Structure 1
Amino acid sequence: PYTEVDIIDVFDRLSADIVTTCLYSFKLNPWADTSANQFVVNATHTFTPSRLRLLLYTLLPKYMLTALGVKHPVRDSANEYFISMTRHIIAERKRNTSNNYNDFIDLAINAENNNIESDSQDTGDHNISATNGSNGVKKGIKRGDSYMSEDEALANSSNGVKKGIKRGDSYMSEDEALANSWVFINSGCKVIATTLVFIAYELALHPNHQQRLYEEVKGCVGTGDKEIDFESISQMPFLEAVINESQRLHTISIRMRRMAVTDYELGDTGITIRKGDTVDIPIYAIHHYEQYYRNPNVFDPYRFMPHNRDKLYYRNPNVFDPYRFMPHNRDKLVPNTYIPFSLGNRQCIAMRFVLLELRLTLINLILEYRFVTTVHTDRPLRLLPSSFQHSPQRLLLGLEKRVEANIERTANASDINYKEI
């Protein structure tokens, strides 16, 4: 027996609670009626911009948008709500320094105050050392004569260390903290929720992949009483492959726009991108191009499994296939053809956070429940008519409580022994 649920609503509530806890250290009580919750109402506005604003923002040049007062596809009231709330929280934290929240706001305040201390001399190497500050930062990466916390390194590893992390005379300003908080809310909540929705859908359609994932997770964390640490997560290649394949097949950001900072010649095409030109990169189209992913519309996690790398080009890009992304397959991926979080200096700052939350959520869910289709499950999915994001319009799935055979964990997580209880 299973319970039919609106899986979009479930994951929307869950992801909002996760992000607000990590960002602000407060709980939303997401399972209660949220219709009067101003945070949820304004967050919904950021995820679903008005079609008129989106159309204007897509079609009109910047000077016309400025004249019309359209700064962003998201309505101004929602932006102002989050900026005002974050500014108020930062001010309160600065006034009351006795509490340690160990969240993003605390990290931003400590960076603003240049409060990350080094307790060793520069050796010229990038060494890992421990720091013991009241801000909860446990590790630091030594760079020159200053330290960048491990959390900051994860958040900024793709962007380079710029203004915002203590490095010499640099620090994170309040405006930068406000901007990055908004990014976490805008990107973190919906990206986590929508990705989980697509993964649950594909696992329900592919019980063989779901069982393989369950066996891998169960083999690593046992009966659930073991703490799920980063080392355990890193031993789950199929979990990573499932997430990667879902983000490839169901690319949430359909395209990304970038401005050239210098002239660039496109090989021998005779085309030169001039400094200041805007370039639209079709992420969804790249992820579904058969030259890179054969059968691109098929869910196939095995595309990314180690033992299938030499076969990667021959897999259907229209099929969900997690094995594309397994470790032994990754060297067959064409560089820069898998870009769910963009690339380079403008790569999504919330990428590591999103991936970690996806893994932890799936681990906990897959141990307790099985995703199944019901008579009301749409096949194929009905998607929202939007050029802004690739999102399902609705999705009803069944959640079935697991009553499984006891799995004895072995030294090799992929080698599973079953014992009936």
Structure 2
Amino acid sequence: MEIMYLLLVLISMLCCLFGVLYFYLTQVYVYWKKRGVPFLEPSFPVGNALEMILAKRTTGDVYRDFYRKLSGYKFAGLYQIHRPVLLLMDPDLIKNILIRDFGHFQDHGFPFDETVDPLGANLFMLNGDKWKTLRSKLSPTFTSGRLKMMFQLLVECGQELQKCFAEPANREDILDIREVLARFTTDVIASFAFGIQCNCLSNPDAEFRRWGRKWVEPSFNQKLRDILYFMMPRLAIALGIGNIPYDVSKFFMKVAYETVEYHERNNVTRKDFMQLLIQLKNQGCLDADNQDNGNGQTPLPIHAMLAYYTFCERISGASIHVLSAGFETSAATMSFSLYELALNPGIQDRLRDEIDTVMKNHGGSVTYEGIQEMKYLDKIISETLRKYPPLPTLHRECTKRYEIPETNVVLEKGIQVVIPTLGIHYDPQYFPKPEVFDPERFSEEEKNKRHHYTYLPFGEGPRACI
């Protein structure tokens, strides 16, 4: 009898909780209707996010379908479980959000906590003044002059890649090109961002490669972590669960700390990103930026940044951001480019002719200036990024009340805005026969025919890429 009573109490409590949840979500799911915004009908209790939660398809593909279903509208409403989301489809409105009215949408809106996720304190994740401060410091490290200064590091890694291909080519072996290129980009980023040589091409099980693989390759724990952050990010943070696994964070922080310590103890000067970060740490600005930087901004003293991070965490966060932004995206883009070239031998032959001609003009060497002259290569990479964008969706969070131009729709602070990059890139209105790989879409003539904000592989505006 007592057990039956407890069961009845438990069932009653669950029914009450279900009723409260149902009432709450039914109130949420009229948010866009009340504001006169077209929307996709949500489903209890996940809104429009079921496929993303179940990971049946990628987020980019899901939003591409949303884009198709809502074709004809400039914007429309969706529901990410209990959170209203605005989907942008009009290029002019996208331009407003990313550029003209950037002050209303400067944050990505991804939840994280620096105490739980110290390496999350990077340019991609930070918001508000913290992002502005870090960006003002790190932006000078990505100028064309400094990238040119570090170009030799890339050439050296390229020579190792050539050696890696030589023997299998002579034997006519089959290679897992995706894995080889992942090892190549790991070598490049390790050298560029951390100032170390990890030799992943010659040693596939190098420690740096193993930890990089552990970070980016999906696992059951990572999937659970992603679902929790997607559904209840505040709970994840309260439970002390970070976006980046603790052991991965610990390894890269250790690498950054030991590298900086070695550089400073032995007075090592190397033309890489880590050296520039050390210079920021010691001087508060880079050598070329000791005075006004030309934009009316005097470099901030280093203590302004230390108010947000310890030095080791800041260096590690910046370096791991370069690793995450460059390692996986670069390997994927190169792999997809080679895949498309294999399917299109005519394009491949034309590219080979261009490379041979440019190399001959530069004495058979790979040079920074030579790469700039490879216009057809640039078109191929651009078309690859159209078909396979590294960021299939772009996210912004409304940071203050915003009225959408030429409408009466007002977005409240905290509303998430999503730009379906993949959907736009496959819209035949902008890119006829979008499934076809056609580098000539990126001739100057063709680019001038279409709206600039219909091609957004890395976003646009002050937060482009980062």
Query: Taking structure 1 as the reference length, what is the TM-score of the superposition?
Result: 0.62
From 382, 403, 408, the equivalent of 1:244 is 382
Match of 1:101 in 2: 270
> Is residue 45–residue 75 contact of structure 1 (8 Å, CA) maintained in 2?
no
Match of 1:255 in 2: 393
Output the CA distance in 1 between the equivalents of 2:239 and 2:296. Answer: 36
Match of 1:212 in 2: 350
Match of 2:230 in 1: 58
Structure 1 position 195, deviation (Å): 0.6
Output the CA distance in 1 between the equivalents of 2:317 and 2:286. Answer: 25
Output the CA distance in 2 between the equivalents of 1:101 and 1:300. Answer: 40
Match of 1:67 in 2: 238
Q: Write the mapping of 1:184-199 to structure 2, written as runs, cut at 5 A.
A: 184-199=322-337
Call closer, same or farther: CA 1:48–1:197 in 2, change over 3 Å: same
Match of 1:46 in 2: 215
Q: Write the mapping of 1:377-416 to structure 2, written as runs, cut at 5 A.
A: none
Root-mean-square deviation (Å): 2.7
Match of 2:364 in 1: 226
Output the CA distance in 1 between the equivalents of 2:339 and 2:296. Answer: 38
Matching residue's letter, 2:276 = L
Output the CA distance in 1 between the equivalents of 2:249 and 2:420. Answer: 27
Match of 1:124 in 2: none
Call closer, same or farther: CA 1:235–1:284 in 2, change over 3 Å: same
* Cα deviation code 1:96-120 (max 9, x no counterpart): 32x21221111111122227677xx
> Is residue 260–residue 278 contact of structure 2 (8 Å, CA) maintained in 1?
yes
Output the CA distance in 2 between the equivalents of 1:115 and 1:68. Answer: 35
From 327, 342, 346, the equivalent of 2:463 is 346
**3-state DSSP of counterpart to 1:258:** strand
Output the CA distance in 1 between the equivalents of 2:212 and 2:253. Answer: 12
From 72, 83, 98, the equivalent of 2:253 is 83
Structure 1 position 184, deviation (Å): 1.0
Q: Write the mapping of 1:7-406 to structure 2, written as runs, cut at 5 A.
A: 7-35=177-205, 37-49=206-218, 50-60=222-232, 62-72=233-243, 74-97=244-267, 99-114=268-283, 140=288, 145-146=291-292, 167=299, 169=301, 174=311, 175-222=313-360, 225-306=363-444, 309=445, 329-349=446-466
Matching residue's letter, 2:201 = W
* Cα deviation code 1:115-153 (max 9, x no counterpart): 7677xxxxxxxxxxxxxxxxxxxxx4x79x3459xxxxx
> Is residue 116–residue 147 contact of structure 1 (8 Å, CA) maintained in 2?
no
* Cα deviation code 1:344-388 (max 9, x no counterpart): 222225xxxxxxxxxxxxxxxxxxxxxxxxxxxxxxxxxxxxxxx
Query: Taking structure 2 as the reference length, what is the TM-score of the superposition?
Result: 0.56
Bigger Rg over Cα? 2
Matching residue's letter, 2:278 = I
Where relative contact order (Cα < 8 A, 6+ residues apart) is larger, the structure is 2
Structure 1 position 337, deviation (Å): 1.9
Identity of aligned residues (%): 26
Structure holding more helix per residue: 2
Match of 2:175 in 1: 5
> Is residue 288–residue 297 contact of structure 1 (8 Å, CA) maintained in 2?
yes
Call closer, same or farther: CA 1:289–1:79 in 2, change over 3 Å: farther
- Corresponding pairs, count: 287
Call closer, same or farther: CA 1:263–1:335 in 2, change over 3 Å: farther
**3-state DSSP of counterpart to 2:439:** strand
Matching residue's letter, 2:248 = A
Matching residue's letter, 2:178 = I
> Is residue 257–residue 281 contact of structure 1 (8 Å, CA) maintained in 2?
yes
**3-state DSSP of counterpart to 2:454:** coil
Call closer, same or farther: CA 1:275–1:231 in 2, change over 3 Å: same
Gaps of 5+ in 1: 119-139, 149-159, 310-328, 350-421
* Cα deviation code 1:23-51 (max 9, x no counterpart): 2232222234433x332222112212422
Output the CA distance in 2 between the equivalents of 1:238 and 1:161. Answer: 38
Match of 1:410 in 2: none
Structure holding more strand per residue: 1
Call closer, same or farther: CA 1:255–1:225 in 2, change over 3 Å: same
* Cα deviation code 1:138-189 (max 9, x no counterpart): xx4x79x3459xxxxxxxxxxx998xxx726468753433221011111211
Gaps of 5+ in 2: 1-168
Call closer, same or farther: CA 1:117–1:268 in 2, change over 3 Å: closer
Call closer, same or farther: CA 1:117–1:182 in 2, change over 3 Å: closer
Output the CA distance in 2 between the equivalents of 1:168 and 1:251. Answer: 35
Structure 1 position 192, deviation (Å): 0.9
